[in-house]
Structure 1
Amino acid sequence: MEKKKTVLFIVIILNLLIVISQIIFGIYAHSLALITDAVHNFQDVISLIIAFVAAIFMSKKPTERMTFGYLRSEAMAGFINSAFLIGAVVLIIISSIERLFYPQNVDSIYVIIVGFIAFVINALSAYFLGLHKHDKDDHEHEDLNIKAAYLHLLSDAGISLGVVAGGVLIYLFGIHWIDPFISILFSLYIFKETYPILKKTYLILMESVPPYIDPKELEGLIKKECKDIIEIHDLHVWALSSKDVYFTAHIVLSPSVTLEEFDEKITKISKILIEKGINHVTIQPETEKFKCSNIY
């Protein structure tokens, strides 16, 4: 976690330098492409700051008031990052379509130089974050916060490359439409990569059952493993982060089951759930005579 925070901090500083240089040279060279890229980079700086703050909160331990800790900050940051990125991509596509019909003359030399510097810094930043975006636990859970920030930087690198390519072609051949065309292609790619993260983080925030888990299947496996279970009700499965999946249920047991036997069954059930990617288990035992009514 400390390495992730250090990388995020360095990337934030580098991207701030990109924003400042692109605005200055964009105004000087009359380049709307550079200024637009600067705005997009600045938006990503804000997203990276959100990711940095989320990384800090994720490392905080639970307290008496925050008994779950700050685990959901990862999903919140990932959702905000992805939502902003999709919004930026839509605006870029709209602007690019407009520029296809109304191209502008710019000083292509400054566009090429500043755009290339921005591309290199963004590409390096994305690379360093990419070293951590696939960090997973035993159940293939990714860090959505880092992955969303990585995609932001990847989109910046792609757009900066489009600006450079457009500047080169404008300089050599006077082809003004190539710059917005490349931007549209990269924007569509980023949208395709970002939407699944937006959907996944939204489902986490809504406490949905993770898509790789089937509650009915879990119920069947538990009953098959533990023959003395009469009924399972009030079963809930949800995630607080990409790595923390919770399971709660009321289990109605045969009256003949002793406390020691129940402990043995809990151990078996926990092993089944761990194999399915669930790492926090709470089970309430009940007898058929005094079982709680299903509140849902």
Structure 2
Amino acid sequence: MTHDDTTHAQTSTHDHVFLGDNHERNERRTWLVIALTATMMVAEIVAGTVFGSMALVADGWHMSTHAAAMLIAALAYLYARKNARNPRFTFGTGKFGDLAAFASAVVLALIALLIGWESFVRLANPIPISFPQAISVAVIGLTVNLICAWLLRDDQSHHSHGLDHQYHHQGHSHDNNLRAAYLHVLADALTSVLAIAALVTGSIYGWLWLDPAVGIVGALVIAKWSWGLIRDAGAVLLDYVPSSEDLPEEIRSALEEEGDVITDLHVWQLGPGHHGAIVSLVSERPKAPSSYREKLSHIHDLSHVTIEVEPRAA
């Protein structure tokens, strides 16, 4: 039996840095969004306290929850980058983003639950609304969130579709950590849009029930987004390979020729745009592991490969 990774482990050219292509750019943008959100949060709380506006104070504290969630993403970027070459992380720190995304998705789900609960309470016990003030706060919040969403946009994709889209072979550079921060901003923007629509309509017709009713709708949408993120990030953490993933078949089609047969194959994601594979095969005429590695060199997402070769039993 021959193993391919033993020679690489002894060279200085082989590392386990499996961070996304835009890791540092995404990290800088996340810190910028946190700074913007925190500044707006402090401004709203101070202004609300000085001018006696509970709407401003409440929105300020609401923004603090999203700032805290985005801090999870920023710290994950920082830690993953600082420890990218730490040998104690056997396969690098590329999955830190997915771990942070999972945690952030749980926070997003809790926010959806709180919004839904508060909306139900308001629906059962309507309270007077200062429509002009509330609308102005929602507009300010929406403006800040749109700026943050633009900063956190993913140039490749930022959609909350299912696993089939998220894990299509051509889209493996998707960064779940950035997606988590983006969804927090998007959730805040959605609540602002719905609030503006409900408040404007409510001010015209005097419908106090419309604002909490729309809040429930917003909570359900945010809960759906959080579930999608929990599912996708969790799949990466558990090395789940969806049926739409074509990487195993690409490996098989590249190696199973001239009587060579793959007997065991493991494929998993190491980080955004990076995958690892362990391949065991039997061959009538075994070659050096490097020759099999060469056959896989055209697969861009395959960043770390271990080849095991055994001669076919007589």
In which range does the TM-score fall when normalised by the shorter chain?
0.7 to 0.9
**Higher RCO, 1 or 2 (CA under 8 Å, sep at least 6)?**
2
Q: Is the 8 A contact 2:286 2:311 kept in 1?
A: no
* Residue number in structure 1 paired with 2:307: 283
Q: Quote how far apart the aligned CAs of 1:185 are.
A: 2.5
* Residue number in structure 1 paired with 2:108: 85
Is 2:222 aligned against 1:190? yes
Select which of 270, 276, 282 maps to 1:252: 282
CA 1:17–1:219 in 2, change beyond 3 Å: closer, same or farther?
closer
* Residue number in structure 2 paired with 1:17: 39
Separation in structure 2 between the aligned mates of residue 199 and residue 21 of structure 1, nearest angstrom: 36
Select which of 267, 290, 293 maps to 1:266: 293
CA 1:211–1:20 in 2, change beyond 3 Å: closer, same or farther?
farther
Q: Quote how far apart the aligned CAs of 1:223 are.
A: 5.7
Q: Match for 1:66: what amino acid?
A: F
* Residue number in structure 2 paired with 1:227: 258
Is 2:167 aligned against 1:140? no
Separation in structure 2 between the aligned mates of residue 237 and residue 19 of structure 1, nearest angstrom: 44
Q: Quote how far apart the aligned CAs of 1:129 are.
A: 0.8
Q: Quote how far apart the aligned CAs of 1:6 are.
A: 2.5
Separation in structure 1 between the aligned mates of residue 76 and residue 242 of structure 2, nearest angstrom: 21
Q: Match for 2:259: what amino acid?
A: D
Q: Match for 1:112: what amino acid?
A: I
Is 2:79 aligned against 1:57? yes
* RMSD between superposed Cα atoms in Å: 3.1
Count of residue pairs the alignment pairs up? 280
TM-score (norm 2): 0.76
Q: Match for 2:191: what amino acid?
A: I
Separation in structure 2 between the aligned mates of residue 73 and residue 56 of structure 1, nearest angstrom: 10
Separation in structure 2 between the aligned mates of residue 167 and residue 131 of structure 1, nearest angstrom: 32
Give CA-to-partner distance per residue, 1:101-155, whole Å, 9 cap, x none: 2111133332222221111101111122115573899821211111111111011
Separation in structure 2 between the aligned mates of residue 93 and residue 114 of structure 1, nearest angstrom: 20
Separation in structure 2 between the aligned mates of residue 175 and residue 241 of structure 1, nearest angstrom: 49
Separation in structure 1 between the aligned mates of residue 129 and residue 181 of structure 2, nearest angstrom: 31
Helix, strand or coil for the counterpart of 1:279?
strand
Helix, strand or coil for the counterpart of 2:52?
helix
5+ unaligned residues in a row in structure 2: which ranges?
1-22, 159-165
CA 1:114–1:125 in 2, change beyond 3 Å: closer, same or farther?
same
Q: Is the 8 A contact 1:244 1:278 kept in 2?
A: yes
Matches within 5 A, 1:179-218: 179-213=211-245, 217=249
CA 1:131–1:203 in 2, change beyond 3 Å: closer, same or farther?
closer
Q: Quote how far apart the aligned CAs of 1:91 are.
A: 2.1
Give CA-to-partner distance per residue, 1:245-289, whole Å, 9 cap, x none: 1110222222x3343xx5433322454xx27x4332211112346
Q: Percent identity over the alignment? A: 25
Q: Is the 8 A contact 1:34 1:111 kept in 2?
A: no
* Residue number in structure 1 paired with 2:205: 173
TM-score (norm 1): 0.81
Q: Is the 8 A contact 1:76 1:205 kept in 2?
A: yes
* Residue number in structure 2 paired with 1:161: 193
Q: Quote how far apart the aligned CAs of 1:169 are.
A: 3.9
Q: Match for 1:196: what amino acid?
A: G
Select which of 23, 27, 33 maps to 1:5: 27
More helix by share: 1
Q: Is the 8 A contact 2:255 2:295 kept in 1?
A: no
Separation in structure 1 between the aligned mates of residue 290 and residue 122 of structure 2, nearest angstrom: 68
5+ unaligned residues in a row in structure 1: which ranges?
290-296
Q: Match for 1:17: what amino acid?
A: T
Is 2:121 aligned against 1:94? no
